[in-house]
């Protein structure tokens, strides 16, 4: 893998703005061409069937179209925003599957909304951080990226990651720790 | 910043990835309600999620996928669900949680009361609000499974340090502690627990049958 070094070169934030402001279908088609197959791949990795992954990718892109006006480039990156949409839809889909589709349950989206708390200094330097995170990830070796991916996307416990990659579990943990530490230091957080 | 104790970095990353069991999600969300530092960590992990998503090898969709979705773009959006009504007056809880059903307070042990929160999704984790009287001392205990605690009001101390509002404590089978509650005000915490606690020592053996957690 390692293609992460080239990822996100496009200015997807501008495409989202065009969708939000002008219902720009050409911009949407570009977003669809790039993100839909990757959202499908994400769904496949988290255990959805091919048909279900395709359906969820469609649903996610429809949500992107409808909610584009809510995207705020000052607080988050375009790919991160689309990731959270896919994440929330996956959680909803898994809950529906467990309940055999019966009954409405609260949507995961609102369970991630915690920003109404009266905190000072709510503004995060996340727009800045997207580029920083990308450059931090670019500094990781392909093996480290693989560990981060498996942990992040594939719900694999550390023991299974260790088995799949034939590395000791201590190595899995230290690679993850290193990745998080690097992210923290790049975001100016003290650890 | 007065919050000194945070969830672990992997736990925050798992929250952002949407991989936490819902009971744990609730505990971390409660901490995030008060903790800007960890909100930033969540944002950072979501950036990572976006970057990892962008780097995935694409899984092609059906040839007519874009055509089919374009036919749906003009469809009206579903009306948003009504805003949940906050029913709880317990401080420090994120709004989605305040709308859940809270059972009545019930005594758990001397100086200790709890009220369960009815979660809308099945989860192996029990979530409840715990209230301990000022100046009281909880019994030395260990955990089978784990216990996540987020302080909402008041505070307590154990050998891991002092925990005040917003602070997050993780107990598991490797930890054995005997918290003492701050003097002056009730200590109210949100607790997410899997498994059960085990009280240690002779006194623990004697009161274990009477402690209902």
**Where is average pLDDT lowest: A61-65, A76-80, A133-137, B92-96?**
A133-137
**CB nearest to A129's CB, from B19, B47, B72:** B47
Rounded mean pLDDT, B167-177: 79
Question: What is the pLDDT, as a whole number, of residue A52?
Answer: 95
Cβ contacts of B18 on chain A, cutoff 8 Å: 87-88, 90-91, 108
Question: What is the pLDDT, as a whole number, of residue B173?
Answer: 67
Cβ contacts of B49 on chain A, cutoff 8 Å: 80, 83-84, 87, 152
| Confidence at B24, pLDDT banded by 50, 70, 90 | very high
Rounded mean pLDDT, A1-24: 75
In this predicted model, which residue has the larger pLDDT, A75 or A139?
Answer: A75
Question: What is the pLDDT, as a whole number, of residue A125?
Answer: 43
For residue B186, is pLDDT > 60? yes
In CATH, what number does A11-100 get?
Answer: 1.10.1740.10
Is B70 in Cβ contact with A25 (below 8 Å)?
Answer: yes
Rounded mean pLDDT, A118-145: 55
A85: nearest Cα among A66, A114, A58, A64: A64
Query: Could you give the CA distance from residue A33 to residue A83 in angstroms, rounded to a whole number?
Result: 15
Question: What is the pLDDT, as a whole number, of residue A159?
Answer: 80
How far, in Å, are A60, A138, B69, B72, B92 from residue A65 at the CA level? 9, 30, 10, 10, 34
Mean pLDDT of chain A, nearest integer: 77
Question: What is the pLDDT, as a whole number, of residue B58?
Answer: 96
Cβ contacts of B84 on chain A, cutoff 8 Å: 106, 110
Is B66 in Cβ contact with A107 (below 8 Å)?
Answer: no
CATH topology of domain A125-191: Arc Repressor Mutant, subunit A (1.10.10)
Q: Where are the domains of chain B?
A: 1-213
Instruction: Report the residue of chain B nearest A187, measured CA to CA.
Output: B44
Cβ contacts of A112 on chain B, cutoff 8 Å: 29
Separation in Å, CA of B204 to nearest CA in chain A: 34
Query: Could you give the CA distance from residue A112 to residue A25 in angstroms, rounded to a whole number?
Result: 29
In this predicted model, which residue has the larger pLDDT, B192 or B171?
Answer: B192
Residue of A40, A97, A180, A187 best to disrupt the B interface, most CBs of B under 10 A: A180
How far, in Å, are B34, B38, B160 from residue A22 at the CA level? 38, 36, 55
Question: What is the pLDDT, as a whole number, of residue B163?
Answer: 94
Q: Each residue of A30-45: pLDDT tens digit? A: 999 999 999 999 999 9
Is A152 in Cβ contact with B49 (below 8 Å)?
Answer: yes
DSSP H helix total and E strand total for chain B: 6, 13
Q: Each residue of A87-124: pLDDT tens digit? A: 999 999 988 888 765 556 668 888 888 765 444 433 34
For residue B80, is pLDDT > 90? no
Q: What is the DSSP letter of A5?
A: G
CATH of region B1-213, choose from 3.40.50.300, 3.40.50.10890, 2.60.120.10, 3.30.1050.10: 2.60.120.10
Cβ contacts of A30 on chain B, cutoff 8 Å: none
ipTM: 0.86
For residue A79, is pLDDT > 80? yes
For residue B111, is pLDDT > 90? no
Question: What is the pLDDT, as a whole number, of residue A185?
Answer: 57
Percent of chain B with pLDDT over 70: 83
Query: Could you give the CA distance from residue A85 to residue A9 in angstroms, rounded to a whole number?
Result: 20
**Where is average pLDDT lowest: A46-50, A162-166, B7-11, B143-147?**
B143-147
Percent of chain A with pLDDT over 70: 63
Q: Where are the domains of chain A?
A: 11-100, 125-191
């Amino acid at each position: 893998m390692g293609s992460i070094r080239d990822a996100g070169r496009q200015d997807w934030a501008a495409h989202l703005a065009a969708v939000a402001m002008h219902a720009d279908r050409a911009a949407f088609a570009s977003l669809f061409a790039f993100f839909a197959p990757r959202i499908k791949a994400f769904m496949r990795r988290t255990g959805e069937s091919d048909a279900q992954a395709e359906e969820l990718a469609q649903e996610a892109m429809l949500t992107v179209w409808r909610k584009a006006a809510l995207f705020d480039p000052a607080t988050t990156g375009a790919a991160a925003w689309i990731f959270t949409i896919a994440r929330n839809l996956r959680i909803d889909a898994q809950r529906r599957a467990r309940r055999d589709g019966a009954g409405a349950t609260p949507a995961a989206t609102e369970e991630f909304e915690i920003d109404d708390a009266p905190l000072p200094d709510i503004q995060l330097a996340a727009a800045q951080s997207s580029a920083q995170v990308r450059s931090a990830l670019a500094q990781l070796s392909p093996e480290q990226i693989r560990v981060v991916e498996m942990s992040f996307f594939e719900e694999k416990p550390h023991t299974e990651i260790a088995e799949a990659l034939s590395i000791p579990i201590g190595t899995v943990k230290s690679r993850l720790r290193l990745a998080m530490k690097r992210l923290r230091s790049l975001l100016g957080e003290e650890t | 910043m007065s919050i000194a104790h945070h969830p672990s970095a992997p736990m925050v990353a798992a929250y952002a990835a949407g991989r936490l069991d819902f009971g744990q999600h609730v505990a971390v969300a409660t901490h995030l309600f008060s903790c800007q530092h960890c909100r930033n960590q969540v944002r950072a992990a979501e950036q990572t999620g976006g970057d990892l998503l962008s780097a995935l090898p694409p899984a092609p969709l059906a040839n007519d996928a874009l055509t089919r979705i374009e036919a749906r773009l003009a469809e009206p959006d579903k009306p948003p669900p009504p805003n949940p009504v906050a029913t709880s007056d317990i401080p420090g809880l994120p709004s989605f949680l305040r709308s859940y059903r809270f059972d009545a307070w019930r005594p758990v042990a001397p100086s200790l009361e709890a009220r369960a929160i009815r979660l809308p999704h099945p989860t192996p984790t029990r979530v409840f609000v715990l209230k301990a009287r000022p100046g009281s001392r909880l019994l030395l205990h260990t955990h089978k499974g784990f216990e996540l605690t987020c302080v909402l009001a008041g505070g307590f101390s154990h050998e891991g340090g002092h925990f005040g509002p917003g602070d997050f404590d993780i107990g598991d089978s490797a930890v054995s502690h005997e918290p003492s509650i701050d003097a002056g005000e009730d200590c109210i915490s949100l607790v997410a627990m899997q498994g059960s606690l085990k009280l240690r020592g002779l006194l623990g053996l004697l009161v274990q049958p009477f402690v209902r957690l």
